Amino acid sequence: MFEEFKNAFDRHNNAHIQLILINVIVYLALAFIMVPMTMSGFDELFRALHDQIAIPARFSEYITRPWTIITYAFVHDLSGIFHILFNMLALYWFGKLFVEYLGSDKLIAVYILGALAGGVFYLLAYNTIPFFNDQATQAHITMVGASAAVDAIVVAAATLLPDYTFFLLFIGPVRIKYIAGIIVILSYLGTVGANAGGNIAHLGGALMGFIYIKQLQAGINWGSWITLTLDWFKSLFKPKPKVKVTYRSDDVENYRKAAKSKGTGISQAEIDAILDKISAGGYESLSKEEKEKLFKASKKQ
């Protein structure tokens, strides 16, 4: 199972599956911690641990753990399975469509931007609107869940491809713009319900998804800083080649001459480009196709 999960996580252009796996792993890890701690009478300790990754409603609490504006979006309610189930199903369906058209980097960017927007809406509501502020002062309120991030992806996909159709069980074909519209309306109505804070965050995420696509269509990528940050972070763990392959000038000249020989099927320009690439980044920087071309040219010497 571990190998299957690892292969799924490493697959190219598979960000929706990667995000689902992260959410599921966090859910299971917390569940396995919660059960024995609750049985042992340490449920208060678990709640204290849980508070370190759930975003609090009161700003005075939030500033003591600012990382929660991101971590809350990878944590789900442990009292049932439906919270994470519905979020992950929506993430899979709409995320797969999003990746197909815009790629994995932008999907991750929208997920994080949606989480940030949801967190900001949540904090603003509970610290500026009297109706919500009264609730926050009377009780310890926190929020978890990927709904804001997922709603950003849902609305982004619907903004990009409004007439794309999903075939829903018992309903039939439905254009995704109507699915997104229903989600937004239900979230709006829920802002005065039992999950008021969550629904406020949903609206923030949905708005971010809409704005992101509109800005992208105008040539502005709001998520480029997220992509650059993640690429930098990945580079820290990427192994660097210890040996750089270089070629003597006479070797390079032999390859150039070989390219001119009949039967190689390789142009002089191609060989020049390959050799320039070797000079800049070493032999390992070549693609498989480029290595094959170089090998064919060398056989003609």
Domains of the chain by start residue, with CATH? 2-235 (1.20.1540.10), 249-299 (no CATH)
Across the range 132-143, mean pLDDT stands at 88
Instruction: Please tell me the distance from the alpha carbon of residue 40 to that of residue 138, in angstroms, as a whole number.
Output: 29
Predicted pLDDT at 301? 45
Quote the pLDDT of residue 74.
97
Distance CA 287, CA 271 (A): 13
Pair of tokens at residue 216: 């992208």
Query: pTM for the whole thing?
Result: 0.78
Sign of CA dihedral 263, 266, 269, 274: negative
Q: What is the dihedral of CA 117, 34, 87, 22, to 10 degrees?
A: 80
Do 145 and 73 meet the contact criterion of CB atoms below 8 Å apart?
A: yes
Task: Give the CA angle between residues 165, 167, 170 to the nearest 5°.
Answer: 140
Beta bridge partners of 174: 166
Q: Are strands 55-56 and 142-143 parallel, antiparallel or unpaired?
A: antiparallel
- Hey, what are 34's tokens? 């919660």
Q: What is the pLDDT of residue 299?
A: 57
Question: 103: alpha, beta or left, given left = phi > 0 and alpha = psi -120 to 50?
Answer: left
| pLDDT (tens digit per residue) in 215-268 | 999 999 999 999 999 989 888 887 765 555 554 555 555 555 555 544 556 676
Percent of the chain residues topping a pLDDT of 90: 66
DSSP state of 239: P
pLDDT > 70? residue 139 = yes
- pLDDT tens, 163-179? 999 998 888 999 999 99
Greater model confidence, 108 or 246: 108
What's the mean pLDDT in 76-105? 95
Question: Based on the number of CB atoms within 10 Å of its own CB, is 134 exposed (0-12), middle (13-18) or buried (19 or more)?
Answer: exposed
Distance CA 267, CA 182 (A): 58
List pLDDT tens digits, range 30-62: 999 999 999 999 999 999 999 999 999 999 999
Higher per-residue confidence, 113 vs 295: 113
pLDDT of residue 112: 98
